[in-house]
Structure 1
Amino acid sequence: MEIDFFDETNVVQTKEKELVIKLLTFASQHLQLQEHAEMSVTIVTNERIQEINSEYRNKNVATDVISFALNDDSEDDFPINLESMGEDFPFNLGDIIISQEKTAEQAILYGHSFERELGFLALHGFLHLNGYDHMNPEDEKEMFDLQKEILDAYGLKRE
């Protein structure tokens, strides 16, 4: 799994970046994704995520994480037959955008470390990229159970 990591805030430490990359690589193996999968994670300010949330989701508020799945079956997209591209062609899952400020705020609110909250948000976004959602109670239970299973198996439990 190839993960491009960008920190637009310049405050994320190397160990936090490595945590995200290792956790998402672990999660990709847990979900048995193909080896040539790739994606990006970008850390931004509250101001920037609010702009993105407003532009793409029509919600003019800062949020903690936003995922943009490349293959989400949106009616506005040009359909791509990823199976026809061959085994060596990279499978791009999409992009995850995380607010550094919301991560810090929520870590304090929930009483755990910045690293645990960052890992949680990155995994949450990753599951969205892989088709999981929480729009109804059944889907929410499936996604949140899987989220907890992966975080526990990785060793990033709630403190």
Structure 2
Amino acid sequence: MKHQINIGFDTEVEDAPAVSDLIRTCAERVLASEQVPFDAEIDVTVVDAQTIRQMNAEYRDKDAVTDVLSFPMYAFLNGVPQEEPEPEPDSGCVMLGDMILCYTRAVEQAAQFGHSPARECGYLTTHSVLHLLGYDHERGEADTRLMRAKEEDNLSFLGLTRDEP
């Protein structure tokens, strides 16, 4: 499959090319591991804390800075489409949705959790793409376990394991 991961930066990020490569690698890995049977497209925007806080308030009624937001275009349930995804005429790809990532929050959380910013950014990307594919840790314990296992499997495959403190 030829997936299209479009990444834009609406904020200054040190070493943006490396961050962009990491996001693309993680997103493509999840799509491969889930055996998505069509060319998929995801739009990713890296934003600052103020922007993601405004979006979180507007779309989720939560007036707080968060780390990542996912906006799926199609209904999936644990990786299975619940409707027929339609390819975009111009790209031939199915637009799965948008991911909004707050890199400064990712760096803060990496320090808090005692692992690298790359691990945290990779985790948030993996988490968001799984949400776009209909996985949801807020649906119940079984769904939480399933999503967490898929996150860890993908991150381990990429070598983005939790660093020892």
Same fold (TM over 0.5): yes
What is the CA-CA distance between 1:81 and the residue it aligns to? 3.9
For structure 1, which runs of at least 5 residues remain unmatched after alignment? 74-79
CA distance in 2, matches of 1:72, 1:81: 9
Structure 1's consecutive aligned runs of 4 or more residues displaced over 2 angstroms after TM superposition are: 80-86
Tell me the alpha carbon deviations over residues 8-33 of structure 1, each in whole angstroms, 9 at most, x when there is no partner.
Answer: 11214211210110121121111111
CA deviations 1:120-152 (Å, max 9, x no partner) are 001101100000001211100000011101111
Structure 2 spans left out of the alignment, 5+ residues: 77-82
Deviations 1:71-96 (A, max 9, x none): 137xxxxxx7426989x831111011
Given candidates 90, 98, 101, the residue that maps to 2:101 is 98
CA distance in 1, matches of 2:132, 2:157: 20
Q: How many residues are aligned here?
A: 153
Check conservation: 2:87, 2:95, Cα contact below 8 A.
no
Is 1:23 aligned to 2:26, yes or no?
yes
Q: Distance in 2 between matches of 1:103 and 1:48?
A: 14
Deviation per residue, 1:18-73 (Å, 9 max, x gap) = 01101211211111113410011111111000100011111111111110000137
Contact 2:8/2:46, CA 8 A, preserved across alignment: yes
Q: Which stretch of the first structure deviates more once superposed, 118-127 or 16-25?
A: 16-25
The reply to whether residue 47 of structure 1 matches residue 44 of structure 2 is no
Normalised TM-score (structure 1):
0.88
> C-alpha separation between the residues in 2 aligned to 1:37 and 1:12?
28
Q: 2:122 matched to 1:119?
A: yes
Change (3 A) 1:114 1:85: closer
Alpha-carbon distance in structure 2 between the residues aligned to 1:12 and 1:72 = 35
Structure 2 length-normalised TM = 0.85
SS at match of 1:92: strand
The change in CA–CA distance for 1:32 and 1:50 in structure 2 (over 3 A counts) is same
Aligned to 1:77: none
Distance change (3 Å), C-alpha of 1:2 and 1:83:
closer
Q: Matched residues in 2 for 1:89 and 1:103: separation? A: 32
Return the letter of the residue paired with 2:160. Answer: L
- Say whether residues 1:153 and 2:157 are aligned partners: yes
Equivalent pair of 2:23/2:122 in contact (CA under 8 Å): yes
Match of 1:10 in 2: 12
Structure with the higher helix share, 1 or 2: 1
Q: Output one character per residue of 1:101-126: Cα deviation in whole Å (capped at 9) or x when no partner.
A: 21111010011111111110011011
The alpha-carbon distance between structure 1 residues 38 and 84, as it changes in their structure 2 partners (threshold 3 A), is closer
